[in-house]
Amino acid sequence: AQSVTQLDSQVPVFEEAPVELRCNYSSSVSVYLFWYVQYPNQGLQLLLKYLSGSTLVESINGFEAEFNKSQTSFHLRKPSVHISDTAEYFCAVSSNTNAGKSTFGDGTTLTVKP
């Protein structure tokens, strides 16, 4: 079985501050890891993903996440956030077992204040 724990349900930060959204996973097999973002009144969309290779993955809007196998973590970071980053962020795990289904965390609400 696979599971995901997002350690913070809400993260308030000021604009231009750094942020880290934490995600830990559990799985007995090799995993693929994803971060999705949900802006208000919209569906989820992919932010970035780790499949294999370099453990540091980046998005086009300045977010990055690092796969840490020993700590079973995939934390999301951004060095300087903008108001427009206010959204809910979901970490997800999948594998080639479990019928390839994804398991989602409970979400972290990032609120960027001016």
Partner 1 sequence: DADVTQTPRNRITKTGKRIMLECSQTKGHDRMYWYRQDPGLGLRLIYYSFDVKDINKGEISDGYSVSRQAQAKFSLSLESAIPNQTALYFCATSDKGGLETQYFGPGTRLLVL
Q: Check if the beta carbon of residue 17 is closer than 8 Å to that of residue 23.
A: no
Which one among 13, 15, 44, 111 touches partner 1, defined by CB under 8 A?
A: 44
Which one among 46, 56, 58, 83 touches partner 1, defined by CB under 8 A?
A: 46
106 forms part of the interface with partner 1 (CB under 8 A): yes
β-strand partners of 20: 77
User: What secondary structure letter does DSSP report for 63?
Assistant: -
Locate tokens 């427009």: which residue? 84
In this structure, the chain runs to a length of 114
72 forms part of the interface with partner 1 (CB under 8 A): no
User: Whole-angstrom Cα distance, residue 58 to residue 61?
Assistant: 8
β-strand partners of 48: 35
43 forms part of the interface with partner 1 (CB under 8 A): yes
Which one among 15, 32, 59, 111 touches partner 1, defined by CB under 8 A?
A: 32
**Which amino acid, 30?**
S
Judged by beta carbon, residue 43 or residue 114, the one nearer partner 1 is: 43
Which one among 67, 90, 110, 112 touches partner 1, defined by CB under 8 A?
A: 90
Q: Which residues bind partner 1 (CB under 8 A)?
A: 6, 9, 32, 34, 36, 41-46, 49, 51, 90, 94-102, 104-107
